[in-house]
Amino acid sequence: MKRRILPALLALAASVPPAHAADLTIQVDNVRSGDGQVMVALYDGAATFLRQPVRSASAAAGAGSTTLVVRDLAPGDYGIAVYHDANGNGRMDTNMMGIPVEPFAFGRDAQGTMGPPAFDAVKLAVPSGGLATRVTLR
Amino acid sequence: MERRRFLEAGLGFGALALAGAARADAATYRLFHAALQRDPALSIYADVPGAQQGRARIEGRMPAGLQGVFYRNGPGRFELNGERYQHWFDGDGFVQRWTIRDSQVRHQGRFVETRKFLDESAAGQFLYPAFGTGIARRGFRDNDTMNAANTNLLPFGGKLYALWEGGSATEIDPETLATAGIKTWRPDLKAMPFSAHPKIDTDGTLWNFGALPGGDRLALYRIGRNGSVLQAGVVEVPKLALLHDFALSERHLIFVVPPYDVQDDKTRSLAERHVWAGSGAGARPTRVVVVAKDSFTVRRVFELPPRMVFHFGNAWDENGGAVTHVDLVLHEGDQLAALGHVMEGVREPNRPAGHRAVRVTLDYASGRAATASLLDGAEFPRVMPQVVGRRHRRLALLSSDRRNPALTLDTVNVVHVDTGKADSWRFGPGWRAEEHVLVAAPGARGETDGWLVGVVQDTTSGASLLSVFDAARVNAGPLALAHLPYRTPHCFHGNFLAS
């Protein structure tokens, strides 16, 4: 059962920020090198979690810690998924069995049991005043 | 756009997916400790508290030519916080070295400091799923988070590796047995399953496989003595179940896939989800899958009557590769589940016909697999290192004497596979043999020119011994026994590194 993410990035880039928009600041810890990029995707519900993000962002990786800001979010619940695209090939690499070989993290540092955690375990309420959070790559 | 595949975490993990809720196995704990009161011989399935170090008292004469280190591994911790694992394969790895030098024997042992061992020790309770116990108190990254590093200890290319089968090898310091960490042979092979039964070919390269039960991908590896990956790939084999071991011949890698359905029930452990499919109306055969070494492709699939397999002795090709002979141990019925019972202190009845060493002859032209019996009641087959993948004439095995009421591997054997004649020695009551390996004498000319070396548990005194036999005269009894003043954890597998 492969989960595909369909971000429709072009459509998102053209979208208009809603009123009372909030900023979400994500500090990504345990970045093992300054190689490549740290990638973030936000999801707004269980049905689209790890399938269709509502927003995504990336930043050049900084060894140790990298901070990304996603601006102008509508207040609400968001599930965060992060990975370190250390080799900069634009995808999360997996081994021959499909197990990720690049470091990843989820909101609230939630972890699954041989698979990703559920949306409810990773979601964070982003209020109109914005939110700052941290995740740790593993 | 590759970014669309952003975060496929979990892809392919389904085969090992496990329950959200922790299992209560306090009942297993109570049952075992009640049984241990009645039957002290069950102590071989009890915990050891921590690191061990000691000097052995030698009885008999240690052969002057036998010098080196016998590396061994097996589960040493089954219990935490009043809970006990439900399967023998679940315990945390405890690695050991028996050093034989100038006829003296020293022993060292310590736990492998896996992520699992360290996290669970700190928490004071089990956190992660084990093969036969569906604990999931804490989320985790991948299969290496639950890596117990408990099945084998392999010296290779100057390094030492504690092996599990559902994840990576763990590198161990060969002198101190301190844990160096997870071994990733190549970045794209991170967290790949790497079986506990690699084989060293006559050219010194290492062959191994990895599989996730319930999946259909069999990973294959060939690694050079310097640790470089010479070949890695995947072959598709449908309906894989637990694959524990394999054999190699000059041209082939031989796998045996037992008939299990691996259910997707995430509330149960991986062992419990293995449902035997070798009996009843829809019974499936056991499959022998032969892979060509040069191309990593399936050459032919043979069928055997439904049997479970753990261990292979050796394989060799005949007639330019038209025929392959494989010596292995076939078990009748669902032996995987039976191995869980000892955790509750329930001993298996002795059924010598239920697990026998056999020669399977595979004929590629006809597709026929013929089976001939070698030794009943057997397990833990090994051959001399110099004949791996080549024609062998001797097979070392343990067996349970047919007079034993319960399954007790109390006998060591070297079987002449061409005649079927076994050269055997039975240890006394209350003694239990662990795997014995064949060690070549310096400049050995034949397969009996050397020693049969293993560990024995004397449950009457609660102490462990190293035993050494003349490989040509096992029935004369041990040449030497090296008695430790304490009990070591019962190991699964080990390897001798001559100095």
- Domains in chain B, ordered, with CATH? 8-498 (2.130.10.10)
Check residue A14 and give its pLDDT: 41
pLDDT surpassing 70 at residue B24: no
- Closest chain A residue to B210, measured at CA: A97
**CB-based contact A3 B8, cutoff 8 Å:** yes
Q: What ipTM did this prediction achieve?
A: 0.86
Check residue A19 and give its pLDDT: 54
The span from the CA of B243 to the CA of B258, in Å, is 8
Check residue A109 and give its pLDDT: 96
The one-character DSSP state at B133 is B
> Does B138 lie at the interface with A, CB-CB under 8 angstroms?
yes
Check residue B204 and give its pLDDT: 97
In sequence order, what are the residues at sequence separation of 6 or more whose Cβ sits closer than 8 angstroms to the Cβ of residue B362?
Answer: B254, B288, B290, B300, B302, B323, B324, B325, B326, B368, B369
Lowest mean pLDDT among B24-28, B287-291, B403-407: B24-28
Residues 10-69 of A with CB under 8 A from B: 39, 41, 50, 53, 56
pLDDT single digits (tens) B220-263: 999 999 999 999 999 999 999 999 999 999 999 999 999 999 99
- Chain A residues with CB-CB distance to B142 below 8 A: 99-100, 114
B153: left (phi over 0), alpha (psi -120 to 50) or beta: beta
Check residue B285 and give its pLDDT: 97
pLDDT single digits (tens) B37-53: 999 899 999 999 999 99
Q: Which of B480, B488, B486, B483 is nearest to B56 (CA)?
A: B483
pLDDT surpassing 70 at residue B11: no
Check residue A112 and give its pLDDT: 87
pLDDT single digits (tens) A13-71: 344 445 568 999 999 999 999 999 999 999 999 999 999 999 999 999 999 999 999 99
**CB-based contact A90 B139, cutoff 8 Å:** no
Residue type, position B312, single letter: F
pLDDT surpassing 50 at residue B153: yes
Residue of B1, B10, B19 lying closest to A115 (CB–CB): B10
pLDDT single digits (tens) B71-88: 999 999 999 999 999 999
Residue of B139, B141, B219 lying closest to A97 (CB–CB): B219
Check residue B407 and give its pLDDT: 94
B46 in Cβ contact with B359 (< 8 Å): no
Domains and CATH numbers, chain A: 19-136 (2.60.40.10)
pLDDT surpassing 60 at residue A3: no
- Closest chain A residue to B217, measured at CA: A97
Q: What is the pLDDT confidence band of residue A86, given thresholds at 50, 70 and 90?
A: very high
- Chain B residues with CB-CB distance to A50 below 8 A: 7-10
- Chain A residues with CB-CB distance to B217 below 8 A: 96-97
Lowest mean pLDDT among A33-37, B160-164, B333-337: B333-337
In sequence order, what are the residues at sequence separation of 6 or more whose Cβ sits closer than 8 angstroms to the Cβ of residue A60?
Answer: A34, A37, A38, A66
pLDDT surpassing 60 at residue B351: yes
pTM, entire model: 0.92
What average pLDDT does range B100-112 have in this prediction? 97
pLDDT surpassing 90 at residue B4: no
Kindly report the average pLDDT of chain B as a whole number.
Answer: 93
Size of interface A-B (CB pairs under 8 A): 137
Lowest mean pLDDT among A81-85, B67-71, B138-142, B218-222: B138-142
Q: What is the pLDDT confidence band of residue B6, given thresholds at 50, 70 and 90?
A: very low
- Closest chain A residue to B184, measured at CA: A101
B45 in Cβ contact with B88 (< 8 Å): yes
What average pLDDT does range B10-27 have in this prediction? 46
- Chain B residues with CB-CB distance to A41 below 8 A: 6-7
Residue of B10, B13, B234 lying closest to A96 (CB–CB): B234
Check residue A6 and give its pLDDT: 35
**CB-based contact B189 A96, cutoff 8 Å:** yes
Query: In 3-state terms, what secondary structure has residue B124?
Result: coil
pLDDT single digits (tens) B442-485: 999 999 999 999 999 999 999 999 999 999 999 999 999 999 99
Q: Is the dihedral of CA B337, B339, B341, B347 positive or negative?
A: positive
Between the alpha carbon of residue A101 and those of residues B33, B143, B153, B202, the distances in Å are: 42, 12, 25, 33
What average pLDDT does range B426-446 have in this prediction? 97
Write phi, then psi, for A81 (nearest 5 degrees): -130, 135
Q: What is the pLDDT confidence band of residue B10, given thresholds at 50, 70 and 90?
A: very low
Q: Is the dihedral of CA A126, A127, A130, A133 positive or negative?
A: negative
Residue of A6, A101, A114 lying closest to B13 (CB–CB): A114
C-alpha Rg value of chain A to the nearest Å: 14
Residues 438-467 of B with CB under 8 A from A: none
Q: What is the pLDDT confidence band of residue B21, given thresholds at 50, 70 and 90?
A: very low
What average pLDDT does range B363-383 have in this prediction? 98
pLDDT surpassing 60 at residue B19: no
Q: What is the pLDDT confidence band of residue B17, given thresholds at 50, 70 and 90?
A: very low
The span from the CA of B149 to the CA of B163, in Å, is 5
What average pLDDT does range B209-227 have in this prediction? 96
